[in-house]
């Protein structure tokens, strides 16, 4: 429904792919419209990305998150049932794991999300598992994303959050391009190489390709959970330095106390995805910074006014 997106991005996707894209601006909670979309398009499969994703907002307004994420997924699955559309790929999150019992996280790691956002993701995973069990033809693939960053290498499509960015990479980029004065680094006393938080950053194009792999299901079980990360951890300072090298711009920063609910460090064991969907991330942190910077330079105000 474009609540955190821009229709211009879809036009640009058509330019990059040279494919006509059919778009319907609708809310996932609007079952009547969903039914109509499914009657018109008759999809074979759904890749379900329609969810809210800001952890702090989910703490401040949990009911909105349960309504949109969990309620929206139920609404979608009901429509899929009616339309006999039997295959769903769901964008979940590494947040479902919670405090690491060991690292890297593999899919067997216990789940214990520490905020409402993460709890909605875990609930939806379980709902999908229950949904596929009721019909032998149904399949569900859960992709647990680590930290998606970067942009398409054409510089045509990238991340343009509405309002102040919550996430690190768009914030760094907005400091580099002069829109913000300095980066706030949340915590420099973690047990990591330089005291700042460490994450597993994965290029959005690598992440997108994992979805294609997940639709080519031949090695996948009826219900499958796959980590989708690069398998390496990078600290806030390491990412900032790499961005400075790439852009040639000094990025000022200040240390603030730790952000509520943040973990010190986590990264993925994605070996199951490597095997099951014949996929490997191919774009490293340098490429991530280059593509992000290219997108920002070509689009200093993002996609422009809505």
Site residues, ligand UDP (CB under 6 A): 147, 166-168, 171, 183-186, 197, 199, 236, 259, 262
Minimum CB separation from ligand UDP for residue 194, in Å? Answer: 12
Asked if residue 107 lies in contact with residue 272, where contact means CB atoms within 8 angstroms, the answer is yes
**Would the CA dihedral through 44, 278, 206, 112 be positive or negative?**
positive
Tell me if residue 171 is catalytic.
no
Report the Cα 222 to chain-centroid distance in Å.
23
Minimum CB separation from ligand UDP for residue 287, in Å? Answer: 18
Minimum CB separation from ligand UDP for residue 185, in Å? Answer: 4
- Gap between the Cα atoms of 242 and 206, Å rounded: 19
- Choose the catalytic residue: 97, 105, 117, 201: 117
Q: Which residue is nearest to ligand UDP (CB)?
A: 197
194: number of Cβ within 10 Å: 12
Residue number, 183 or 220, with CB nearest to ligand UDP: 183
Residue number, 86 or 92, with CB nearest to ligand UDP: 92
Residue number, 131 or 293, with CB nearest to ligand UDP: 293
Minimum CB separation from ligand UDP for residue 288, in Å? Answer: 12
Asked if residue 131 lies in contact with residue 79, where contact means CB atoms within 8 angstroms, the answer is no
106 Cβ contact list (under 8 Å, min separation 6): 227, 269, 271, 272
Closest among 45, 44, 41 to 26, alpha carbons compared:
41
Residue number, 185 or 268, with CB nearest to ligand UDP: 185
Altogether, the residues listed in the chain come to a count of 306
Active-site residue numbers?
A: 117
């Amino acid at each position: 429904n474009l609540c955190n997106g821009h229709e211009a991005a879809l036009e640009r996707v058509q330019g990059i792919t040279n494919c006509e894209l059919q778009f319907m601006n609708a809310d996932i909670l609007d079952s009547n419209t969903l039914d109509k979309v499914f009657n018109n398009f008759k999809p074979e499969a759904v890749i379900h990305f329609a969810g809210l994703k800001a952890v702090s907002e989910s703490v401040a307004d949990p009911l909105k998150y349960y309504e949109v994420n969990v309620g929206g997924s139920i609404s979608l699955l009901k429509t899929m049932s009616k339309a006999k559309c039997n295959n769903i790929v769901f964008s979940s999150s590494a947040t479902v794991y919670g405090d690491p019992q060991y690292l890297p996280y593999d899919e067997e790691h216990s789940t214990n999300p520490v905020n409402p956002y993460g709890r909605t993701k875990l609930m939806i995973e379980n709902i999908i598992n229950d949904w596929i069990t009721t019909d032998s033809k149904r399949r569900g693939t859960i992709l647990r994303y680590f930290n998606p960053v970067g942009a398409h290498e054409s510089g045509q499509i990238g991340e343009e959050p509405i309002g102040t960015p919550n996430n690190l990479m768009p914030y760094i980029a907005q400091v580099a391009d002069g829109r913000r004065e300095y980066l706030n680094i949340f915590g420099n006393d973690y047990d990591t190489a330089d005291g700042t938080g460490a994450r597993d950053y994965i290029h959005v194009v690598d992440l997108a390709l994992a979805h294609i792999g997940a639709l080519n299901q031949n090695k996948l079980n009826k219900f499958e959970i796959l980590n989708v990360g690069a398998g390496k951890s990078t600290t806030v300072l390491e990412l900032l330095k790499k961005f400075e090298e790439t852009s040639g711009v000094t990025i000022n920063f200040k240390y603030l106390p730790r952000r509520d609910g943040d973990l010190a460090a986590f990264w993925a064991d994605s070996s199951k995805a490597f095997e099951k969907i014949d996929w490997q991330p191919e774009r490293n942190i340098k490429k991530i910074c280059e593509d992000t910077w290219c997108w920002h330079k070509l689009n200093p105000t993002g996609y422009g006014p809505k």
